[in-house]
């Protein structure tokens, strides 16, 4: 997809990856960039930078996502690219509270579901559109120290696969973004964490990769190319990969 003359929506647009994508997309000459975030003031600041518009949206609430889509399409025109980017991390394993599990599930998974529910029929009716869902390398591999994050990011990748398979013949393009560590508020104070084993990427670097991958309409966007090698090792010998991950867990969890 060429981003020129497109209407683009980005959730989680107030900071981090979302803000970097908005700034980079703006250089491509889109018709409009819509920045949505629970941090309404932050969304306004990003929108002001790129000449866009802002919405205060809590992606853990389906009605907020539905309202965002309906308002943008009513007031500005058909959405060409929807970047379902907002996400959170929660540490722990099965012992994490039900409330924490539900919150991360709603934000990291159901937000993608709700965006597709309310946007795919519209896109299909007009012959196509593009969904970019931010997941994580944790959705392809795993996440030391966080079962909720690993599980929800796996689910996000699975949903993106299903959407691409099921709606591709209707002109719906799908990409799933799976970086390792990126320097954002989520990784602040954890620069030496396991996710940064291959280095900490700047959001601007990631945004550049995203633009190139959307232009090529690639399904799997891997800003850290090493992840592909890890995936191959995982599928070639799952037991050996689990053993290696246990070693990594011992190193980082103590």
Alpha-carbon span 90 to 55, nearest angstrom: 25
Contact 33, 25 (CB under 8 A): yes
Q: Is 215 contained in some domain?
A: yes
Q: Is 2 contained in some domain?
A: no
Q: Is 11 contained in some domain?
A: yes
Walking along the chain (254 residues) 10 residues at a time, the average pLDDT comes out as 98 96 98 98 98 98 98 98 97 97 98 98 98 98 96 98 98 97 72 66 96 98 96 97 95 76
Q: Is 253 contained in some domain?
A: no
What are the catalytic residues? 149
Q: Is 198 contained in some domain?
A: yes
* Structural domain count of the chain: 1
Q: Is 211 contained in some domain?
A: yes
Domain residue limits at 27? 7-224
In the block, tokens 């980082």 appear at 252
- Residue 252, pLDDT score: 80
Q: Is 246 contained in some domain?
A: no
CATH code (residue 206): 3.40.50.720
> What contacts 109, CB < 8 A, 6 or more positions away?
152, 155, 156, 159
Q: Is 249 contained in some domain?
A: no
Alpha-carbon span 203 to 240, nearest angstrom: 33
Of 140, 179, 174, 142, which Cα lies nearest the Cα of 157? 140
- Residue 193, pLDDT score: 60
> What contacts 192, CB < 8 A, 6 or more positions away?
none
């Amino acid at each position: 997809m060429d981003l020129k003359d497109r209407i683009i929506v980005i959730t989680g647009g107030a900071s981090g990856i979302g803000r970097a994508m908005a700034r980079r997309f703006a250089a491509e000459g889109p018709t409009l960039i819509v920045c949505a975030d629970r941090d309404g003031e932050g969304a306004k600041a990003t929108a002001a930078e790129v000449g866009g518009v802002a919405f205060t949206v809590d992606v853990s609430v389906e009605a907020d996502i539905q309202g965002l889509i309906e308002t943008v399409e009513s007031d500005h025109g058909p959405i060409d690219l929807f970047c379902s980017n907002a996400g959170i991390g929660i540490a722990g394993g099965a012992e994490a509270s039900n409330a924490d599990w539900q919150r991360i599930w709603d934000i990291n998974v159901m937000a993608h579901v709700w965006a597709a529910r309310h946007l795919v029929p519209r896109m299909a009716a007009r012959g196509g559109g593009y969904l970019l869902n931010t997941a994580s390398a944790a959705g392809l591999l795993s996440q030391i120290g966080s079962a909720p994050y690993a599980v929800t990011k796996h689910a996000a990748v699975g949903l993106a696969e299903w959407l691409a398979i099921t709606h591709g013949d209707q002109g719906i393009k799908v990409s799933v973004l799976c970086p390792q560590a990126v320097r954002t508020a989520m990784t602040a104070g954890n620069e030496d964490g396991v996710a940064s084993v291959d280095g900490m990427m700047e959001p601007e670097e990631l945004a550049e990769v995203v633009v190139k991958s959307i232009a090529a309409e690639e399904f799997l966007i891997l800003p850290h190319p090493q992840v592909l090698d890890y995936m191959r090792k995982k599928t070639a010998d799952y037991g050996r990969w689990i053993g290696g991950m246990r070693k990594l867990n011992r190193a980082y969890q103590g």
